[in-house]
Amino acid sequence: MVTAMRKGILLGLAWVATILLAACGTTAPSSGEPAKSLILATTTSTQDSGLLDELLPVFTRESGWQVKTVAVGSGAAIELGRRGEADVLLVHSPAAEEKFVAEGGAGQRRLVMHNDFVLVGPPDDPAKIKGASSTDALKKVADAKAVFVSRGDESGTHSKEKDLWSKAGVTPGGNWYQSTGQGMGETLRVASEKGGYTLSDRATYLAQRDTLELEVLSEGDPGLLNVYHVIEMTTKAGDKVQPDGAKAFADWLVAEPAQRLIGEFGRAKYGQPLFTPDAGADESKLGL
């Protein structure tokens, strides 16, 4: 009988605990407001450079929107937008962006900022590219069959690299031309380990320079500008897209306070800003 009574008490306590847990689980957050969350698909350079660590906490604090970041190549980020799996894009592959927007699933595409690409390589520079233009530098790399490490991921950087090879009149291939299929940070690491050359956005290179055996060897060509746009997604891409979150982020990013943050990012640590803010500028006049 005692055993039966004990079981009854335990069952009763378990039932009460279940009710209490259920009640706790349905209690609204202390703020009284449900969390707002959006998905940002962006290139790895904005993450690897540390820029997002600077911007996103401020945006969340000012807007109430939490941001989940998916950092991939620009091509993959655009594909996420195309499938309705991201709310807003921050990418740097202009030709692919224009084609994507023309498809009709995206909303506004606005200029945000630019920096530039640089060709980096080992300090001893076996292909002797230092000071050469980007196309001449790539010809020298190919002629020397020096190791060149490509991202190979259809990112904005990879698209720019392929464009430069084409302008150089070179079809890269063979053992000297290697592909990582990964982001900029990892590709720089591999190039450093192999004593090879690679194309990088300047921001990611500077952010990781102290861990690399790589130097900037070719820079400054007008064709090496690296331009970033923010693209708002719409429900035409998918029912799960949150256009209000996309607009909130895009509007914030091109507004003066965020542009000021972008323009100052990196100055204290590297002696130069890593990005130049461009919101509202005429791209044709900038030579972009």
d(CA 226, CA 240): 31
Tokens (6 digits) for 172: 């890269």
d(CA 241, CA 235): 5
Position with higher pLDDT, 20 vs 223: 223
**Which pLDDT score is estimated for 11?**
40
pLDDT, tens only, 136-184: 999 999 999 999 999 999 889 999 999 999 999 999 999 999 999 999 9
CA-based Rg of the chain, rounded to a whole angstrom?
A: 24
User: 234 with 241: CB under 8 angstroms?
Assistant: yes
pLDDT band at 122 (very low <50, low <70, confident <90, very high): very high
**Which pLDDT score is estimated for 33?**
52
Instruction: Specify the 3-state DSSP secondary structure of 195.
Output: coil
DSSP bridge pairs for 90: 42, 230
User: What structural domains does the chain harbor?
Assistant: 36-113+227-278 (3.40.190.10), 116-224 (3.40.190.10)
Position with higher pLDDT, 32 vs 218: 218
Position with higher pLDDT, 36 vs 10: 36
**Which pLDDT score is estimated for 288?**
55
Tokens (6 digits) for 183: 């982001």
pLDDT, tens only, 12-56: 434 333 333 333 333 333 444 557 999 999 998 999 899 999 999
